Protein backbone atom coordinates (compact mmCIF):
# COMPACT_ATOMS: atom_id res chain seq x y z
CA UNK A 1 0.00 0.00 0.00
CA UNK A 2 2.85 2.45 0.63
CA UNK A 3 3.36 2.67 -3.15
CA UNK A 4 0.23 4.81 -3.24
CA UNK A 5 2.13 7.54 -1.41
CA UNK A 6 4.62 7.72 -4.27
CA UNK A 7 1.81 8.59 -6.68
CA UNK A 8 0.86 12.08 -7.85
CA UNK A 9 -2.60 13.59 -7.65
CA UNK A 10 -3.64 12.45 -11.13
CA UNK A 11 -2.57 8.86 -10.48
CA UNK A 12 -4.42 8.69 -7.17
CA UNK A 13 -7.65 10.21 -8.44
CA UNK A 14 -7.70 8.12 -11.63
CA UNK A 15 -6.75 4.94 -9.79
CA UNK A 16 -9.45 5.51 -7.20
CA UNK A 17 -12.05 6.27 -9.86
CA UNK A 18 -11.10 3.11 -11.76
CA UNK A 19 -11.42 0.97 -8.65
CA UNK A 20 -7.73 0.06 -8.45
CA UNK A 21 -7.89 0.84 -4.74
CA UNK A 22 -10.36 2.28 -2.28
CA UNK A 23 -10.16 5.55 -0.39
CA UNK A 24 -9.88 3.52 2.80
CA UNK A 25 -6.82 1.76 1.39
CA UNK A 26 -5.34 5.15 0.52
CA UNK A 27 -5.90 6.33 4.09
CA UNK A 28 -4.26 3.14 5.34
CA UNK A 29 -1.25 3.80 3.11
CA UNK A 30 -0.95 7.38 4.29
CA UNK A 31 -0.97 6.50 7.97
CA UNK A 32 1.50 3.66 7.34
CA UNK A 33 3.83 6.21 5.72
CA UNK A 34 3.34 8.57 8.65
CA UNK A 35 4.05 5.80 11.15
CA UNK A 36 7.29 4.99 9.31
CA UNK A 37 8.59 8.51 8.71
CA UNK A 38 7.18 10.93 11.26
CA UNK A 39 9.13 9.64 14.28
CA UNK A 40 12.21 11.00 12.49
CA UNK A 41 10.81 13.96 10.54
CA UNK A 42 8.30 15.14 13.17
CA UNK A 43 6.22 17.10 10.68
CA UNK A 44 2.87 16.51 12.40
CA UNK A 45 1.56 18.05 15.61
CA UNK A 46 -1.73 16.15 15.50
CA UNK A 47 -3.08 13.19 13.52
CA UNK A 48 -6.74 13.05 12.47
CA UNK A 49 -7.54 9.40 11.67
CA UNK A 50 -11.19 9.77 12.66
CA UNK A 51 -11.77 12.55 10.15
CA UNK A 52 -9.61 10.79 7.53
CA UNK A 53 -11.51 7.52 7.64
CA UNK A 54 -14.87 9.28 7.77
CA UNK A 55 -13.97 11.07 4.55
CA UNK A 56 -12.56 7.90 3.00
CA UNK A 57 -15.74 5.95 3.78
CA UNK A 58 -17.86 8.72 2.28
CA UNK A 59 -15.76 8.69 -0.89
CA UNK A 60 -15.98 4.90 -1.18
CA UNK A 61 -19.76 5.12 -0.80
CA UNK A 62 -19.96 7.88 -3.45
CA UNK A 63 -17.96 5.80 -5.90
CA UNK A 64 -20.08 2.72 -5.23
CA UNK A 65 -23.23 4.76 -5.88
CA UNK A 66 -21.84 5.94 -9.21
CA UNK A 67 -21.87 9.59 -8.26
CA UNK A 68 -19.62 12.29 -9.66
CA UNK A 69 -16.33 12.24 -7.79
CA UNK A 70 -14.69 15.50 -6.65
CA UNK A 71 -11.43 16.62 -8.33
CA UNK A 72 -9.12 15.64 -5.44
CA UNK A 73 -10.99 12.45 -4.60
CA UNK A 74 -9.01 10.38 -2.07
CA UNK A 75 -5.85 12.54 -2.19
CA UNK A 76 -4.08 12.59 1.23
CA UNK A 77 -3.84 16.19 2.51
CA UNK A 78 -2.65 17.92 5.68
CA UNK A 79 -2.71 21.45 7.05
CA UNK A 80 -0.38 23.91 8.73
CA UNK A 81 -1.39 24.31 12.36
CA UNK A 82 -2.47 27.95 12.01
CA UNK A 83 -5.53 26.79 10.03
CA UNK A 84 -8.66 26.05 12.00
CA UNK A 85 -10.07 22.59 11.41
CA UNK A 86 -13.09 21.27 13.29
CA UNK A 87 -12.22 18.53 15.73
CA UNK A 88 -8.56 19.53 16.06
CA UNK A 89 -6.37 21.80 18.10
CA UNK A 90 -5.08 24.90 16.34
CA UNK A 91 -1.96 25.72 18.32
CA UNK A 92 0.13 27.82 15.91
CA UNK A 93 2.98 25.79 17.51
CA UNK A 94 2.67 27.97 20.62
CA UNK A 95 2.03 27.25 24.29
CA UNK A 96 -0.36 30.21 24.15
CA UNK A 97 -2.84 28.08 22.14
CA UNK A 98 -1.74 24.64 23.29
CA UNK A 99 -5.23 23.67 24.47
CA UNK A 100 -7.28 25.63 21.95
CA UNK A 101 -9.78 23.51 20.02
CA UNK A 102 -11.10 24.88 16.74
CA UNK A 103 -14.79 25.86 17.02
CA UNK A 104 -15.05 26.45 13.25
CA UNK A 105 -13.18 25.60 10.06
CA UNK A 106 -10.99 27.69 7.78
CA UNK A 107 -12.30 28.11 4.24
CA UNK A 108 -9.10 26.73 2.73
CA UNK A 109 -9.40 23.57 4.86
CA UNK A 110 -13.05 23.12 3.90
CA UNK A 111 -12.25 23.59 0.21
CA UNK A 112 -9.55 20.91 0.21
CA UNK A 113 -11.76 18.44 2.05
CA UNK A 114 -14.84 19.27 -0.05
CA UNK A 115 -12.69 18.68 -3.15
CA UNK A 116 -12.12 15.11 -1.92
CA UNK A 117 -8.97 15.42 0.16
CA UNK A 118 -8.47 12.92 2.98
CA UNK A 119 -7.38 15.02 6.01
CA UNK A 120 -4.42 13.43 7.79
CA UNK A 121 -3.69 16.05 10.44
CA UNK A 122 -2.07 19.33 11.46
CA UNK A 123 1.54 20.26 10.73
CA UNK A 124 4.35 21.87 12.68
CA UNK A 125 5.46 25.44 12.04
CA UNK A 126 7.41 28.30 13.53
CA UNK A 127 5.45 29.76 16.43
CA UNK A 128 2.72 32.00 15.00
CA UNK A 129 4.67 31.78 11.69
CA UNK A 130 7.54 33.83 13.14
CA UNK A 131 10.66 32.23 11.70
CA UNK A 132 12.44 30.73 8.73
CA UNK A 133 13.50 27.35 10.09
CA UNK A 134 10.69 25.84 12.23
CA UNK A 135 13.12 26.14 15.15
CA UNK A 136 10.79 28.47 17.07
CA UNK A 137 7.99 25.90 17.45
CA UNK A 138 7.07 25.36 21.09
CA UNK A 139 6.66 21.64 20.40
CA UNK A 140 10.06 20.82 18.95
CA UNK A 141 11.83 20.82 15.62
CA UNK A 142 10.73 19.41 12.31
CA UNK A 143 13.66 17.77 10.48
CA UNK A 144 14.52 18.12 6.80
CA UNK A 145 13.87 14.75 5.07
CA UNK A 146 16.92 15.30 2.82
CA UNK A 147 19.24 15.62 5.83
CA UNK A 148 17.89 15.16 9.34
CA UNK A 149 20.61 17.43 10.73
CA UNK A 150 19.20 20.37 8.76
CA UNK A 151 16.17 22.61 9.06
CA UNK A 152 13.19 22.20 6.72
CA UNK A 153 12.81 25.97 6.43
CA UNK A 154 9.92 27.95 7.77
CA UNK A 155 7.55 28.96 8.85
CA UNK A 156 5.69 26.20 6.97
CA UNK A 157 8.43 23.64 7.65
CA UNK A 158 6.07 20.84 8.62
CA UNK A 159 4.03 21.29 5.45
CA UNK A 160 7.09 21.05 3.20
CA UNK A 161 8.65 18.14 5.12
CA UNK A 162 5.45 16.08 5.07
CA UNK A 163 5.36 16.20 1.26
CA UNK A 164 9.10 15.67 0.83
CA UNK A 165 9.04 12.56 3.02
CA UNK A 166 6.02 11.02 1.28
CA UNK A 167 3.65 11.35 4.24
CA UNK A 168 1.14 13.53 2.38
CA UNK A 169 0.46 14.20 -1.30
CA UNK A 170 -0.67 17.79 -0.81
CA UNK A 171 -0.33 20.14 2.14
CA UNK A 172 -1.25 23.74 2.82
CA UNK A 173 1.00 26.41 4.27
CA UNK A 174 0.86 30.16 4.70
CA UNK A 175 3.32 32.69 3.34
CA UNK A 176 3.87 36.16 4.83
CA UNK A 177 7.40 36.81 3.56
CA UNK A 178 8.52 33.50 2.06
CA UNK A 179 7.10 30.89 4.44
CA UNK A 180 5.90 28.62 1.63
CA UNK A 181 8.62 29.19 -0.94
CA UNK A 182 11.67 28.99 1.34
CA UNK A 183 10.74 25.62 2.94
CA UNK A 184 9.73 24.33 -0.49
CA UNK A 185 13.24 25.26 -1.63
CA UNK A 186 14.92 23.58 1.36
CA UNK A 187 12.86 20.38 1.11
CA UNK A 188 12.94 19.97 -2.67
CA UNK A 189 9.20 20.32 -3.33
CA UNK A 190 6.99 22.74 -5.22
CA UNK A 191 5.37 25.47 -3.14
CA UNK A 192 3.14 28.30 -4.32
CA UNK A 193 2.18 31.63 -2.79
CA UNK A 194 -0.83 32.80 -4.81
CA UNK A 195 -1.54 36.44 -5.54
CA UNK A 196 -2.93 38.19 -2.47
CA UNK A 197 -6.69 37.71 -2.46
CA UNK A 198 -6.86 34.60 -4.65
CA UNK A 199 -7.27 32.25 -1.67
CA UNK A 200 -9.43 33.00 1.35
CA UNK A 201 -7.66 33.65 4.64
CA UNK A 202 -10.80 33.13 6.71
CA UNK A 203 -10.06 30.83 9.63
CA UNK A 204 -6.29 31.17 9.33
CA UNK A 205 -4.67 32.72 12.39
CA UNK A 206 -3.26 36.00 11.17
CA UNK A 207 0.38 37.15 11.34
CA UNK A 208 0.43 40.10 8.91
CA UNK A 209 -3.04 40.57 7.48
CA UNK A 210 -1.89 42.59 4.45
CA UNK A 211 0.87 40.10 3.67
CA UNK A 212 -0.45 36.61 4.54
CA UNK A 213 -1.54 34.21 1.82
CA UNK A 214 -2.43 30.51 1.90
CA UNK A 215 -0.91 28.20 -0.69
CA UNK A 216 -0.22 24.53 -1.51
CA UNK A 217 2.81 22.25 -1.47
CA UNK A 218 3.20 19.25 -3.78
CA UNK A 219 5.92 17.15 -5.37
CA UNK A 220 5.05 18.35 -8.87
CA UNK A 221 3.75 21.47 -10.58
CA UNK A 222 0.62 19.62 -11.73
CA UNK A 223 -0.15 18.61 -8.15
CA UNK A 224 0.11 22.22 -7.01
CA UNK A 225 -2.07 23.34 -9.94
CA UNK A 226 -4.72 20.80 -8.93
CA UNK A 227 -4.68 22.14 -5.38
CA UNK A 228 -4.94 25.70 -6.68
CA UNK A 229 -8.06 24.74 -8.62
CA UNK A 230 -9.65 23.64 -5.36
CA UNK A 231 -8.52 26.66 -3.34
CA UNK A 232 -9.11 29.68 -5.55
CA UNK A 233 -12.41 31.56 -5.54
CA UNK A 234 -14.33 34.33 -3.81
CA UNK A 235 -15.26 33.86 -0.16
CA UNK A 236 -17.82 36.18 1.42
CA UNK A 237 -16.17 35.56 4.80
CA UNK A 238 -12.91 37.24 3.67
CA UNK A 239 -13.27 40.84 2.49
CA UNK A 240 -9.90 40.64 0.66
CA UNK A 241 -10.97 37.56 -1.32
CA UNK A 242 -11.26 38.05 -5.09
CA UNK A 243 -13.43 36.31 -7.67
CA UNK A 244 -10.72 35.01 -10.00
CA UNK A 245 -11.54 31.38 -10.61
CA UNK A 246 -9.43 29.87 -13.40
CA UNK A 247 -8.36 26.37 -14.44
CA UNK A 248 -4.69 26.15 -13.49
CA UNK A 249 -4.29 22.75 -15.13
CA UNK A 250 -5.53 23.90 -18.52
CA UNK A 251 -2.34 25.47 -19.89
CA UNK A 252 0.40 23.45 -18.21
CA UNK A 253 1.43 21.81 -21.47
CA UNK A 254 1.58 25.01 -23.54
CA UNK A 255 5.32 25.48 -23.09
CA UNK A 256 7.20 28.78 -22.91
CA UNK A 257 8.03 29.43 -26.55
CA UNK A 258 7.68 33.15 -27.13
CA UNK A 259 7.16 33.97 -23.45
CA UNK A 260 9.27 36.76 -21.97
CA UNK A 261 11.29 35.74 -18.90
CA UNK A 262 12.37 38.73 -16.81
CA UNK A 263 15.89 38.83 -15.38
CA UNK A 264 16.98 41.58 -12.98
CA UNK A 265 20.54 42.47 -14.05
CA UNK A 266 20.93 45.10 -11.34
CA UNK A 267 20.18 42.57 -8.61
CA UNK A 268 23.49 41.35 -7.22
CA UNK A 269 22.58 37.70 -6.86
CA UNK A 270 26.11 37.02 -5.65
CA UNK A 271 25.54 39.08 -2.49
CA UNK A 272 24.75 36.38 0.05
CA UNK A 273 24.18 33.66 -2.56
CA UNK A 274 26.21 30.48 -2.51
CA UNK A 275 27.99 29.49 -5.75
CA UNK A 276 25.82 26.39 -6.14
CA UNK A 277 22.67 28.52 -5.92
CA UNK A 278 24.00 30.86 -8.59
CA UNK A 279 24.98 27.93 -10.80
CA UNK A 280 21.50 26.38 -10.51
CA UNK A 281 19.91 29.75 -11.22
CA UNK A 282 21.88 30.28 -14.41
CA UNK A 283 21.30 26.68 -15.53
CA UNK A 284 17.54 26.99 -15.07
CA UNK A 285 17.44 30.26 -17.00
CA UNK A 286 19.43 28.63 -19.81
CA UNK A 287 16.92 25.76 -19.92
CA UNK A 288 14.03 28.20 -20.29
CA UNK A 289 15.84 29.96 -23.09
CA UNK A 290 16.50 26.61 -24.73
CA UNK A 291 12.76 25.88 -24.59
CA UNK A 292 12.11 28.98 -26.67
CA UNK A 293 11.56 31.66 -24.04
CA UNK A 294 12.92 35.15 -24.59
CA UNK A 295 15.11 36.59 -21.83
CA UNK A 296 14.50 40.27 -21.11
CA UNK A 297 16.08 42.62 -18.60
CA UNK A 298 13.76 44.22 -16.04
CA UNK A 299 14.37 46.64 -13.19
CA UNK A 300 13.24 46.40 -9.57
CA UNK A 301 15.01 49.50 -8.25
CA UNK A 302 13.48 49.51 -4.77
CA UNK A 303 13.88 45.81 -3.98
CA UNK A 304 16.84 46.53 -1.70
CA UNK A 305 14.42 48.34 0.62
CA UNK A 306 11.97 45.44 0.81
CA UNK A 307 13.59 43.77 3.81
CA UNK A 308 13.56 46.99 5.84
CA UNK A 309 9.95 47.74 4.95
CA UNK A 310 8.84 44.19 5.73
CA UNK A 311 10.36 44.20 9.21
CA UNK A 312 8.39 47.32 9.99
CA UNK A 313 5.06 46.35 8.45
CA UNK A 314 5.16 42.72 9.63
CA UNK A 315 5.82 43.35 13.35
CA UNK A 316 3.26 46.17 13.41
CA UNK A 317 0.56 43.89 12.03
CA UNK A 318 1.69 41.00 14.25
CA UNK A 319 1.49 43.23 17.35
CA UNK A 320 -2.09 44.12 16.43
CA UNK A 321 -3.14 40.56 15.57
CA UNK A 322 -1.60 38.94 18.65
CA UNK A 323 -3.24 41.38 21.04
CA UNK A 324 -6.35 39.17 20.92
CA UNK A 325 -4.52 36.44 22.85
CA UNK A 326 -5.23 38.02 26.20
CA UNK A 327 -5.88 34.85 28.30
CA UNK A 328 -9.44 36.05 28.95
CA UNK A 329 -11.41 34.74 25.97
CA UNK A 330 -8.95 31.99 25.01
CA UNK A 331 -5.28 31.13 25.27
CA UNK A 332 -2.94 30.21 28.08
CA UNK A 333 -3.96 31.59 31.48
CA UNK A 334 -1.65 31.65 34.48
CA UNK A 335 -3.59 30.54 37.59
CA UNK A 336 -3.69 32.54 40.82
CA UNK A 337 -3.67 36.03 39.34
CA UNK A 338 -5.96 38.46 41.18
CA UNK A 339 -5.55 41.51 38.93
CA UNK A 340 -6.22 41.80 35.22
CA UNK A 341 -2.90 43.52 34.50
CA UNK A 342 -1.01 40.79 36.37
CA UNK A 343 -2.93 38.10 34.46
CA UNK A 344 -2.07 39.70 31.12
CA UNK A 345 1.59 40.04 31.97
CA UNK A 346 2.16 36.57 33.39
CA UNK A 347 -0.02 34.67 30.93
CA UNK A 348 1.45 36.31 27.84
CA UNK A 349 5.00 36.01 29.20
CA UNK A 350 4.52 32.28 29.72
CA UNK A 351 2.46 31.62 26.58
CA UNK A 352 4.61 33.34 23.96
CA UNK A 353 8.09 32.18 22.95
CA UNK A 354 11.12 34.40 22.47
CA UNK A 355 10.63 35.18 18.78
CA UNK A 356 6.96 36.04 19.29
CA UNK A 357 7.88 38.35 22.16
CA UNK A 358 10.58 39.99 20.03
CA UNK A 359 8.12 40.80 17.26
CA UNK A 360 5.38 41.94 19.64
CA UNK A 361 7.75 44.36 21.36
CA UNK A 362 9.13 45.63 18.06
CA UNK A 363 5.61 46.21 16.74
CA UNK A 364 4.61 47.98 19.93
CA UNK A 365 7.58 50.31 19.61
CA UNK A 366 7.05 51.02 15.91
CA UNK A 367 3.40 51.97 16.50
CA UNK A 368 4.10 54.20 19.51
CA UNK A 369 3.70 57.96 19.46
CA UNK A 370 6.65 59.77 17.91
CA UNK A 371 7.90 56.63 16.17
CA UNK A 372 4.92 55.76 13.99
CA UNK A 373 5.43 58.67 11.61
CA UNK A 374 9.16 58.04 11.41
CA UNK A 375 9.01 54.39 10.38
CA UNK A 376 5.52 53.09 9.56
CA UNK A 377 4.54 55.75 7.02
CA UNK A 378 7.85 55.51 5.11
CA UNK A 379 7.48 51.69 5.04
CA UNK A 380 4.07 52.08 3.44
CA UNK A 381 5.57 54.47 0.89
CA UNK A 382 8.26 51.91 0.08
CA UNK A 383 5.51 49.35 -0.36
CA UNK A 384 3.88 51.57 -2.97
CA UNK A 385 7.17 51.95 -4.82
CA UNK A 386 7.87 48.19 -4.82
CA UNK A 387 4.36 47.46 -6.08
CA UNK A 388 4.84 49.99 -8.87
CA UNK A 389 8.25 48.49 -9.75
CA UNK A 390 6.71 45.05 -10.25
CA UNK A 391 3.81 46.44 -12.25
CA UNK A 392 6.19 48.26 -14.61
CA UNK A 393 8.48 45.24 -14.86
CA UNK A 394 5.56 43.07 -15.98
CA UNK A 395 4.94 45.44 -18.87
CA UNK A 396 8.18 44.00 -20.30
CA UNK A 397 8.03 40.42 -19.03
CA UNK A 398 5.44 37.68 -18.58
CA UNK A 399 7.19 36.38 -15.45
CA UNK A 400 10.29 37.29 -13.44
CA UNK A 401 12.74 34.70 -12.11
CA UNK A 402 15.25 34.71 -9.28
CA UNK A 403 16.48 32.32 -6.56
CA UNK A 404 14.02 31.15 -3.90
CA UNK A 405 16.69 31.36 -1.21
CA UNK A 406 20.34 32.44 -1.24
CA UNK A 407 21.43 28.99 -0.06
CA UNK A 408 20.33 25.42 0.57
CA UNK A 409 19.11 24.15 3.94
CA UNK A 410 21.34 25.00 6.88
CA UNK A 411 21.98 22.96 10.02
CA UNK A 412 20.07 23.38 13.26
CA UNK A 413 21.62 26.12 15.37
CA UNK A 414 23.88 27.23 12.53
CA UNK A 415 22.16 30.63 12.31
CA UNK A 416 21.44 32.20 15.68
CA UNK A 417 21.51 35.88 14.71
CA UNK A 418 17.97 37.10 13.87
CA UNK A 419 19.21 39.41 11.11
CA UNK A 420 21.09 36.58 9.40
CA UNK A 421 18.00 34.38 9.71
CA UNK A 422 15.88 37.07 8.09
CA UNK A 423 18.18 37.04 5.05
CA UNK A 424 16.87 33.57 4.20
CA UNK A 425 13.87 35.41 2.76
CA UNK A 426 15.79 38.10 0.89
CA UNK A 427 14.38 37.04 -2.49
CA UNK A 428 10.81 36.32 -1.39
CA UNK A 429 9.75 39.24 0.81
CA UNK A 430 9.22 41.81 -1.95
CA UNK A 431 6.60 39.56 -3.56
CA UNK A 432 4.42 39.65 -0.42
CA UNK A 433 4.80 43.41 -0.17
CA UNK A 434 3.58 43.82 -3.75
CA UNK A 435 0.90 41.09 -3.52
CA UNK A 436 2.05 39.11 -6.56
CA UNK A 437 1.90 35.37 -7.00
CA UNK A 438 5.11 33.33 -6.83
CA UNK A 439 6.27 29.73 -6.87
CA UNK A 440 9.39 27.89 -5.76
CA UNK A 441 10.37 24.68 -7.51
CA UNK A 442 13.40 22.40 -7.24
CA UNK A 443 15.71 22.53 -10.25
CA UNK A 444 18.34 20.06 -9.08
CA UNK A 445 20.78 19.31 -6.29
CA UNK A 446 23.53 21.70 -5.29
CA UNK A 447 26.91 20.64 -6.63
CA UNK A 448 28.53 21.23 -3.23
CA UNK A 449 25.82 20.36 -0.68
CA UNK A 450 23.90 17.69 -2.59
CA UNK A 451 20.72 19.33 -1.31
CA UNK A 452 17.78 20.70 -3.32
CA UNK A 453 18.12 24.16 -4.85
CA UNK A 454 14.99 26.23 -5.37
CA UNK A 455 14.11 28.45 -8.34
CA UNK A 456 11.50 31.18 -7.95
CA UNK A 457 9.02 32.27 -10.62
CA UNK A 458 7.02 35.47 -10.01
CA UNK A 459 3.97 36.55 -12.00
CA UNK A 460 1.71 39.58 -12.36
CA UNK A 461 -1.12 39.91 -9.86
CA UNK A 462 -3.99 37.47 -10.56
CA UNK A 463 -2.18 35.85 -13.48
CA UNK A 464 -0.81 32.93 -11.51
CA UNK A 465 -1.56 30.52 -14.34
CA UNK A 466 1.46 32.01 -16.16
CA UNK A 467 3.69 31.02 -13.26
CA UNK A 468 2.50 27.42 -13.34
CA UNK A 469 2.86 27.24 -17.12
CA UNK A 470 6.51 28.31 -16.94
CA UNK A 471 7.15 26.02 -13.96
CA UNK A 472 5.68 23.01 -15.79
CA UNK A 473 7.89 23.64 -18.81
CA UNK A 474 11.02 23.95 -16.68
CA UNK A 475 10.08 20.90 -14.62
CA UNK A 476 9.92 18.82 -17.80
CA UNK A 477 13.67 19.20 -18.31
CA UNK A 478 14.89 19.24 -14.69
CA UNK A 479 14.44 15.54 -13.80
CA UNK A 480 13.14 16.35 -10.34
CA UNK A 481 9.38 15.87 -10.70
CA UNK A 482 7.70 13.89 -7.94
CA UNK A 483 10.92 13.13 -6.10
CA UNK A 484 10.69 12.00 -2.47
CA UNK A 485 13.75 12.52 -0.28
CA UNK A 486 15.93 9.43 -0.84
CA UNK A 487 15.78 8.07 2.71
CA UNK A 488 11.97 8.03 2.59
CA UNK A 489 11.37 6.98 -1.00
CA UNK A 490 9.94 3.58 -1.79
CA UNK A 491 12.70 1.06 -1.20
CA UNK A 492 14.83 3.62 0.66
CA UNK A 493 15.96 3.22 4.21
CA UNK A 494 14.22 5.59 6.60
Tens digit of each residue's pLDDT (9 = 90 or more) over 328-375: 888 999 999 999 999 999 999 999 999 999 999 999 999 999 999 999
Q: Which residues, including other chains, have CB under 8 Å from residue 267's CB and lie 6 or more apart? A: 300, 303, 402
Q: Which residues, including other chains, have CB under 8 Å from residue 291's CB and lie 6 or more apart? A: 255, 256, 257, 473, 474, 477
Q: Can you state the percent helix, strand and coil of the chain, rounding each to 5?
A: 40, 15, 45
Contact criterion met (CB below 8 Å) for 180 and 173? yes
| pLDDT number for residue 419 | 81
| pLDDT number for residue 493 | 41
Catalytic residue among 94, 179, 347, 424: 179
Q: How many CB atoms lie under 10 A from the CB of residue 65?
A: 7
- Give the chain's domains with CATH numbers: 2-260+479-488 (3.90.1300.10)
CA distance between the termini of the chain? 17
438 flagged as catalytic: no
Interatomic CA distance for residues 139 and 442, integer angstroms: 28
> pLDDT under 50 in the chain at which residues?
1-2, 492-494
Catalytic residue among 133, 155, 165, 200: 155
Interatomic CA distance for residues 86 and 51, integer angstroms: 9
155 flagged as catalytic: yes
The string of pLDDT tens digits covering residues 401-433 is: 999 999 999 999 999 888 888 888 999 999 999
pTM tops 0.75: yes
Catalytic residue among 55, 80, 122, 466: 80
Q: How many residues appear in the chain?
A: 494
Give the containing element (helix H, strand E) for 430: helix 429-434
Amino acid sequence: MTAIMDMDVAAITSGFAAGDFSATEIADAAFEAIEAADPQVKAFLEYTPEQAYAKANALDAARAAGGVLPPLAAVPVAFKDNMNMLGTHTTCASHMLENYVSPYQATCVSKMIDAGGIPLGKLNMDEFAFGSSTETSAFGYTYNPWDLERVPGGSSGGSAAAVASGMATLTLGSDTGGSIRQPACFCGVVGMKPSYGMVSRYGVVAFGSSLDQVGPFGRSVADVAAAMNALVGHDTLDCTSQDCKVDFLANLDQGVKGMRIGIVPGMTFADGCTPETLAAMHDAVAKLEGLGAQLVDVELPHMDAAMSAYYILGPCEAFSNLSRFDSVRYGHRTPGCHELGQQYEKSRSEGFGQEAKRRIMLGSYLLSAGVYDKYYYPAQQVRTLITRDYREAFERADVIVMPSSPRTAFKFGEISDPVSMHLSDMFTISVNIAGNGSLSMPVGLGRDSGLPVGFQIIGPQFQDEKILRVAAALESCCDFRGRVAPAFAKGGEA
